[in-house]
């Protein structure tokens, strides 16, 4: 189960980087996010009639909704302020340390020296990626706020998916809450501009919506199987994929320091996987 959880989380990280690249490449970031979340909700909607309700997890679902709303506002502002290769490592890299601290102190998850080493390597790699040619203060503040909200929803959803009758029950209702709640809110917020963006961006929005189900569905499944500190750090392998996408797909300039940081993150991930 530990090995399966680790593999699920690495796959989740890869898909997550693609979703964020699609969001970054879109013109209107808030409209793009509304399309992504709305598409996810529509895709999982049929399952809501086939699975049990997430009894025991409703409080966690409402808390997750609130934190995800703050997260999405922060990530949109971060991507509007700087290149993906500059802010993505900051927002993802601050999350595993915070999530590990909260999950150990609150959830009572164990943490071994082996796992602590892996988390340290991942965090050191993200620092190397982020602080050379760092984003400006405004972009950095939004990226740090994003990292804090990632840590918060990681712990909340790890608790929620364990409280639900099954992983699939919680996964489906998370996407229904986020898609029909936050997606609709963002669409109304943008008004006519959302309709304009939807006409040109619905295809990438639908693709990213499907990938969102894959990336966070795999992450939640993994959290039900394993310990949060190790798995939260493993998900940050998305930074490695994100740097590669920024370099080869978005044609952004990626420094040697960022490439070296990505390699350090990959080493930390290898340590965490080897723990299995």
In this structure, the number of other CB atoms found within 10 A of the CB of residue 158 comes to: 27
Q: How far is CA 44 from CA 9, 81, 142, 165, 222, in A?
A: 20, 32, 30, 17, 19
Cβ contacts of 51 within 8 Å, gap of 6 or more:
166, 168, 169, 172
Instruction: Quote the longest CA-to-CA distance of the chain.
Output: 53
Do residues 106 and 151 lie in contact, with contact meaning Cβ atoms separated by under 8 Å?
no
pLDDT at 275 (0 to 100): 57
Place of tokens 């802010």: 87
Q: How far apart are CA 159 and CA 107, in angstroms?
A: 8
> What are the start-end ranges of the H helices in the chain?
2-25, 29-44, 58-81, 84-102, 113-131, 137-163, 167-177, 184-190, 192-225, 228-234, 238-248, 256-274
Do residues 233 and 109 lie in contact, with contact meaning Cβ atoms separated by under 8 Å?
no
What is the residue-level pLDDT of the chain in tens, covering all 276 positions?
A: 777 888 888 888 888 888 878 877 767 788 888 888 899 999 999 999 999 999 999 999 999 999 999 998 898 898 888 877 678 777 777 777 788 888 887 777 778 888 888 888 877 887 776 666 677 888 889 988 998 998 899 899 999 999 999 999 999 999 999 999 988 888 888 888 888 888 888 888 899 899 999 989 999 999 888 888 888 778 777 777 877 887 787 777 767 777 788 788 778 877 877 755
Q: What are phi and psi of 243, to 5 degrees?
A: -65, -40
Domain boundaries, the chain: 2-274
pLDDT at 130 (0 to 100): 67
pLDDT at 227 (0 to 100): 83
pLDDT at 259 (0 to 100): 77
Q: How far apart are CA 81 and CA 75, in angstroms?
A: 10
Q: How far apart are CA 71 and CA 64, in angstroms?
A: 10
Q: How far apart are CA 144 and CA 66, in angstroms?
A: 18
């Amino acid at each position: 189960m530990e090995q399966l959880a680790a593999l699920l989380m690495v796959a989740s990280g890869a898909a997550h980087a693609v979703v964020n690249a699609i969001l970054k490449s879109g013109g209107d970031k808030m409209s793009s996010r509304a399309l992504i979340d709305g598409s996810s909700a529509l895709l999982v909607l049929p399952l809501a009639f086939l699975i049990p309700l997430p009894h025991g997890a409703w409080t966690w679902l409402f808390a997750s909704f609130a934190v995800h709303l703050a997260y999405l506002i922060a990530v949109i502002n971060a991507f509007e302020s700087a290149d993906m290769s500059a802010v993505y490592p900051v927002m993802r890299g601050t999350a595993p340390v915070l999530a590990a601290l909260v999950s150990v102190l609150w959830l009572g998850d164990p943490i071994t020296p082996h796992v602590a080493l892996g988390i340290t390597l991942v965090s050191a790699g993200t620092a190397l990626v982020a602080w050379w040619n760092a984003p400006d203060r405004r972009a950095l503040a939004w990226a740090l706020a994003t990292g804090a909200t990632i840590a918060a929803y990681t712990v909340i959803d790890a608790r929620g998916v364990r409280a639900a009758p099954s992983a699939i029950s919680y996964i489906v209702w998370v996407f229904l809450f986020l898609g029909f709640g936050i997606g609709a809110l963002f669409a109304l917020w943008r008004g006519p501009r959302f309709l304009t963006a939807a006409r040109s961006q619905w295809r990438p929005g639908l693709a990213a919506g499907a990938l969102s189900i894959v990336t966070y569905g795999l992450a939640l499944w993994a959290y039900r199987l394993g310990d949060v500190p190790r798995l939260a750090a493993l998900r940050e392998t998305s930074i490695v994929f994100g740097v590669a996408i920024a370099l080869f797909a978005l044609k952004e300039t990626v420094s040697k320091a960022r490439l070296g940081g990505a390699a350090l993150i990959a080493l930390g991930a290898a340590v965490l996987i080897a723990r299995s």
